[in-house]
Structure 1
Amino acid sequence: MTKQTVNLGSVQETLLIPLFSRALETARPNGLLKDTRAEEIVDQLEYDFSKWPPSSSWSQACIRTRLFDDIALDFLAQHPDGVIVEIGCGLNTRFERIDNGQATWFDLDLPDSIELRRVFFEDTPRRTMIAGSVFDEDWMEPVLKVGKPTLFLSEAVLIYFEEAEVKQAIVQIAEKFPGAGFATDICTSKLTTPKAQERGKRVLGISSWFKWACDDPKSIEAWYPGTEFVGSQTYVDASKDIIAKMPAIWRALTTIAPFFVRYLVKDYRIAHYRLGRS
């Protein structure tokens, strides 16, 4: 079988990190999640995944995904026919894993990423792929037409951009979708230094390093009137189900020395907001 070549920009290429992590976790007994679709896609890509050094980051990426899953599941429990927008969707499979059969989903990403995504996924009446940038506004129109409560998920996307760009994106969404939910991962300035990123990103180069530092997640409330910081989670705040499926070393540390683990992971968290109301 001819494999699918990968032609992505360096930032877009980071979409392969969560994809590969889900495939690895699926193969691990009692893994954090089961994603056979991720395994299939990895097998079909012409890409040297072995160039990525062995790292605990693979499991961490899946813990992050599970935390985003939980936010989405909570939203769907409250709004079964609501709308979920995956910003920078990459080769995300959240729809396959947690869709409730009623919600409407939009998968937004840059044209090269959507082109690759269309090789493996198709639009359906409840799921639409959109090629575009989160920093533009054209992509919002089909989402607005649905007219339902909306949740925006930005998993491993905005941290690759400058703060001014991140603010622009969030403000634009808040203006069009007052009251919507918005979840994104954030990291402190400690993790945006070259020293903190050199080892993990040496494969992709400096253009794929984290750029946006957010030392206080509540500070985003000031970006748009009425925006509310709902809360944030680090990996040690995960549910008991997630912790029970972590790799043994993480599970042991989380159970035996939670304060030590909390110190290790305190600079990276998933933040949840309710965007300003009109």
Structure 2
Amino acid sequence: MSHKQQVVLGEVQETLLIPLYGRAVEARKPRSVLRDPRSVEMVDSIDYDFAKLDSSNQALFACAMRTAIIDEWVRGFLAEHPSGTVVELGTGLNTRFDRVDNGTVRWIDIDLPDVIELRRAFFGDKDRYRMIAASITEDAWLDEVVRSGGPYLLVSEAVLAYLAEEDVRSLFRRVASRLPGAWVVTDTFSRMLVEQILARDVRKVMSMKMLWTCGDPREVERWGVGARLLETRNLGQPQAALRRRMPPVYRVGMAVADRLGGRRLDGYRLNLYKVAEPDK
């Protein structure tokens, strides 16, 4: 391209470029766990030195793998609720709507104003899809989600770890109060894993401030915020449907990783919760 999209983001927001590049790297492979041509187009059109992320190959694949696992949960929700509302909290440059759109879902992508401004260089609002510039620690976006109508699925991919624990608790409380019965997908990082992440090469190329750590996803249940854990997986435990679609070498690799490195992998969990009205 003769003109590339400039990127001006805050320190935390800049981390959205890591999963974007991870998906693009995986999508370029002849056989991959994730088909995401839009991510390739965006990487090619953004003025950013993505090559400096190449030293973190393992982290890049992990980004693609977690996205594929979350996609399966979204497809499962849409199988039960074809016209439900899916909300991406801290959407970054995710292309999930493009990958899982069933023709009837209502979709809302939420992120901070600088991120939404960047998204609008690549995406536009449609009848069933729109973007909202807002902080997920505030309440205004919830009014818009309620108006969209349920059932609801909220997805937060590599976002809540950048909030203080009390902000995460507050988010669950507010969702349970305003969207009772909603599904919530989010990931959790143990303290040890966060320390390892911050020591890796990727820490040298951009600032990362991960605040909330959670070594046990059931800890959220014990908060008394109305959340019940339905399912939890590490990256070596893809759903059966996803596993069947994976290239054979990936299926074998995931099985070996889960069997031999399960405890280490458990420092990072992908979790599916359901919320109800909190106890008064």
Task: State the TM bucket, normalised to the shorter chain.
Answer: over 0.9
Structure-2 residue corresponding to 1:236: 236
Matched letter for residue 46 of structure 1: D
Residue 270 of structure 1 and its aligned partner are, at CA, apart by: 0.6
**Residue 134 of structure 2 corresponds to residue 132 of structure 1:** yes
Residue 256 of structure 1 and its aligned partner are, at CA, apart by: 4.1
TM-score by length of 2: 0.92
**Residue 268 of structure 2 corresponds to residue 254 of structure 1:** no
8 Å CA contact 1:192–1:209 kept in 2: the answer is: no
Matched letter for residue 276 of structure 2: G
> Aligned-pair RMSD on alpha carbons?
1.8
SS in structure 1 opposite 2:187? strand
Structure-1 residue corresponding to 2:8: 7
8 Å CA contact 1:63–1:242 kept in 2: the answer is: no
**Residue 212 of structure 2 corresponds to residue 220 of structure 1:** no
Structure-2 residue corresponding to 1:166: 168
**Residue 178 of structure 2 corresponds to residue 176 of structure 1:** yes
Structure-1 residue corresponding to 2:277: 277
**How far apart are the structure 2 equivalents of 1:173 and 1:223?**
14
Structure-1 residue corresponding to 2:24: 23
Q: Point out where structure 2 has 5 or more consecutive residues left out of the alignment.
A: none
Structure-1 residue corresponding to 2:104: 102
Residue 224 of structure 1 and its aligned partner are, at CA, apart by: 3.8
Residue 277 of structure 1 and its aligned partner are, at CA, apart by: 2.8
**How far apart are the structure 1 equivalents of 2:256 and 2:219?**
33
**How far apart are the structure 2 equivalents of 1:275 and 1:85?**
15
8 Å CA contact 2:176–2:225 kept in 1: the answer is: no
Matched letter for residue 150 of structure 1: Y
Matched letter for residue 222 of structure 1: R
**How far apart are the structure 1 equivalents of 2:267 and 2:247?**
19
**How far apart are the structure 2 equivalents of 1:220 and 1:128?**
30
Deviations 1:76-118 (A, max 9, x none): 0000000000000111111101110001000000000000000
SS in structure 1 opposite 2:218? helix
**How far apart are the structure 2 equivalents of 1:156 and 1:256?**
25
Residue 247 of structure 1 and its aligned partner are, at CA, apart by: 9.2
TM-score by length of 1: 0.93
Comparing 152-161 and 253-262, the one that deviates more: 253-262
**Residue 59 of structure 2 corresponds to residue 36 of structure 1:** no
Residue 240 of structure 1 and its aligned partner are, at CA, apart by: 4.6
Identity %: 38
Matched letter for residue 35 of structure 2: K
Q: Point out where structure 1 has 5 or more consecutive residues left out of the alignment.
A: none
